[in-house]
Structure 1
Amino acid sequence: MAAVLTPVRKTAGQSFSDWANAHRKWLFAAPAMIFVGLLIVFPVAWTLYLSLTDASGSVRADSDFIGPDNYLTVLTDTDRFWPAAGRTAYFTVSALAVELVLGMCIALLLWRPFRGEKWVRVAILLPLVATPVAVGMMWRLIFDPNIGFANQMLGWVGIPPQPWLSGVESALPTTIFIDIWQWTPMIVLILLAGLTSLSDEPDEAARIDGASAWQRFRYVTLPLMMPTVIVAVLLRSIDALKTFDILYATKGKGGGSFNEVETLNIYAYGLSFDYNKYGLSSTVLILFFLIIVGIMFFLTRRRKGTN
């Protein structure tokens, strides 16, 4: 008689083992994902809660729920909030534009091998070694109106001393220059990595067809580099938006006596640690957080479209 085959029933332990084996990549990553998620969710949730209260003086003091009143107060503040938002946008766009252009030029120069290439790359990356606070203090001494080396150099060529960081109109452009000096190497690294990954065939084909160097860059290299460029813009724009160290190290509380370099980060810091207005400060931070998330979403969608 033929043997009758009966299906083997799996125990609960065997079923879980099979399921875990099929989803092992998620199980191994789950502890880290949960930990990072809690690190993000809890501070944001607590800040959102504070933004809906009149918390002040101390975060442990009794506070009342006031709903969106803080948001109405901040969004109608034309003396501090909106000027700070404008300075934040000006700082970010100006620094990013110059860093992107300079970074692309330097990356193109370093793209092809040349004698002493390693030493040049090391020299270009030196600004990234120092911390932003140290960089801010160094340039604060260089731009000192009395003993600074910058005005001494101008004097050598007959140019009168400039106020640099002490001037109301010149302070913000000067801090933008400091940011450009330190963070352009970051753009160079990203773009150089993208250039080295490109194939030589499209450029050689354009060269054979008689295209000039500018035409090869404009119509061949740049379109191929757009995904990398957008990554550089995404990373650097978020970092520039939340710049705090350089501004605080060079101008101190409030972004200067006349708030000349006060960005949203400096403004929120002052509300919290100078005036102890935690509800208003949390509101500014939540609005700032939404701005950053919106920019990330836009650039990510743009990168997907480019790919």
Structure 2
Amino acid sequence: MATITTTKAPRSAPTDPETPGWVRWANDHRKWLFAAPAMIFVAVLLVFPLAWTGYLSLTDAEGSVRAESEFVGIQNYLDVLTDTERFWPAVGRTATFTAVALLFEVVLGMAIALLLWRPFKGQRWVRVAILMPLVATPVAVGMMWRLIFDPNIGLANQVLGWVGIGPQPWLAGQHSALPTTIFIDVWQWTPMVVLILLAGLTSLSEEPQEAARIDGASTWQRFRHVTLPLLMPTLTVAILLRGIDALKTFDILYATKGRGGGSFHEVETLNVYAYGLSFDYNEYGVSSTVLILFFLIIIGAMWALTARRKEAQR
């Protein structure tokens, strides 16, 4: 008759009773001790600037951060939140820029990723060409497109002239500047979304696709009912990363329109507005207030997108 023997998991070696207590404690918490220096360094880099900005937002600091300032409490917040000439229009432009740019980047990124998903001749070179915009810095990209969209000598109006269309103001127009900067952002950062979604597509199993194909599902039906649900966690990550980054866009806007977001503040987002208050007018108290409010907006957006990601994973 066969006997069944069970094996027990080996126990950890007993601690030497002569070992000092602090050594035993360090051994039990070694994973936290190894990570502690990096965590403390990051915390200092985040907490100190945020605390200092929060303090300045409660004062009337201007001219110099070392100049004497008085504590004004929440007066700066009341002034900023009731500012319908600069602050709330900047909030609207920030939301418009982020939402429209993110929408186009996700849709185009998904389409391009699906095209690159299946192997074809020259695929490697096509991928390299699509990812090229990510190589250049945003300031260089902004300056390049500023020359292309120049209303007098720009290539864009020359191409329109070849097909019989009159010159357009592009970045110089009060109503066309924001859509043009959105186009520049989409041109540069869509490849980032492509890269994330393509990595997600290549990790998907082929079995659900084959099963749907055998059942007679069309290409659109396979994408809608098979590919998209399986890709949703990756898509949520792409939206989270790119959405927060688009919300903080500054360099492209400043490189193309300069201080104030243009003569009529046509592309003045919260980043550009806070920069102008700090470095153009030296109103550090008010600019710190705008930055704290902007920080809260970013935290709220991160919380909403993270909650959406958790729902997609369920």
Structure 2 residue runs without a partner (length 5+): 1-13
- Measure the CA separation in 1 of the matches of 2:286 and 2:204: 49
Identify the match of residue 104 of structure 2 among 90, 98, 122: 98
| AA in 1 matched with 2:306 | T
Identify the match of residue 75 of structure 1 among 48, 62, 81: 81
Cα deviation 1:200-235 (Å, max 9, x = unaligned): 111111111110000000011101111111111110
Cα displacement (A) at 1:8 = 8.9
Identify the match of residue 17 of structure 2 among 10, 14, 31: 10
| AA in 2 matched with 1:10 | P
Cα displacement (A) at 1:196 = 0.7
- Measure the CA separation in 2 of the matches of 1:8 and 1:83: 65
> Residue 56 in 1 paired to residue 62 in 2?
yes
Structure 1 residue runs without a partner (length 5+): 1-6
> Residue 23 in 1 paired to residue 29 in 2?
yes
Identify the match of residue 189 of structure 1 among 174, 192, 195: 195
Identify the match of residue 205 of structure 1 among 205, 211, 218: 211
| AA in 2 matched with 1:37 | A
| AA in 2 matched with 1:305 | E
| Aligned CA distance change for structure 1 residues 164 and 9 (closer, same or farther; 3 Å) | closer
Cα displacement (A) at 1:302 = 1.5
Identify the match of residue 117 of structure 2 among 111, 118, 132: 111
Counterpart position of 1:85: 91
SS at match of 1:144: coil
| AA in 2 matched with 1:17 | V
Cα displacement (A) at 1:18 = 3.0
Cα displacement (A) at 1:22 = 2.7
- Measure the CA separation in 1 of the matches of 2:189 and 2:212: 33
| AA in 1 matched with 2:94 | T
**Percent of aligned pairs with the same amino acid:** 78
- Measure the CA separation in 2 of the matches of 1:201 and 1:134: 45
Counterpart position of 1:238: 244
Cα deviation 1:229-276 (Å, max 9, x = unaligned): 111111001110110000000000000000000000000000000110
> Residue 136 in 1 paired to residue 155 in 2?
no
- Measure the CA separation in 2 of the matches of 1:298 and 1:16: 43
> Residue 281 in 1 paired to residue 287 in 2?
yes
Cα displacement (A) at 1:12 = 5.8
Cα deviation 1:62-95 (Å, max 9, x = unaligned): 0111110000000000000000000000000000
- Measure the CA separation in 2 of the matches of 1:108 and 1:200: 14
Identify the match of residue 293 of structure 1 among 299, 302, 307: 299
| Aligned CA distance change for structure 1 residues 65 and 12 (closer, same or farther; 3 Å) | farther
- Measure the CA separation in 2 of the matches of 1:38 and 1:52: 21
Cα displacement (A) at 1:24 = 1.9
- Measure the CA separation in 2 of the matches of 1:151 and 1:218: 40
- Measure the CA separation in 2 of the matches of 1:74 and 1:163: 32
- Measure the CA separation in 2 of the matches of 1:268 and 1:193: 37
Cα displacement (A) at 1:9 = 7.5
TM-score scaled by length of structure 1? 0.96
- Count of residue correspondences: 300
- Measure the CA separation in 2 of the matches of 1:9 and 1:130: 58
- Measure the CA separation in 2 of the matches of 1:127 and 1:260: 25
SS at match of 1:176: helix
SS at match of 2:244: helix
SS at match of 2:59: coil
SS at match of 2:143: helix
SS at match of 1:115: coil
| AA in 2 matched with 1:161 | P
| AA in 1 matched with 2:73 | G
- Measure the CA separation in 1 of the matches of 2:179 and 2:289: 28
Counterpart position of 2:4: none
Flag as ranges the 4+ runs of structure 1 deviating above 6 A.
none
| Aligned CA distance change for structure 1 residues 207 and 277 (closer, same or farther; 3 Å) | same
| AA in 1 matched with 2:100 | S
Larger CA deviation: 212-221 vs 16-25? 16-25
- Measure the CA separation in 1 of the matches of 2:19 and 2:254: 60
CA RMSD of superposed structures (Å): 1.2
| AA in 2 matched with 1:194 | G
TM-score scaled by length of structure 2? 0.94
Identify the match of residue 164 of structure 1 among 155, 159, 170: 170
- Measure the CA separation in 1 of the matches of 2:17 and 2:289: 55
| AA in 1 matched with 2:111 | C
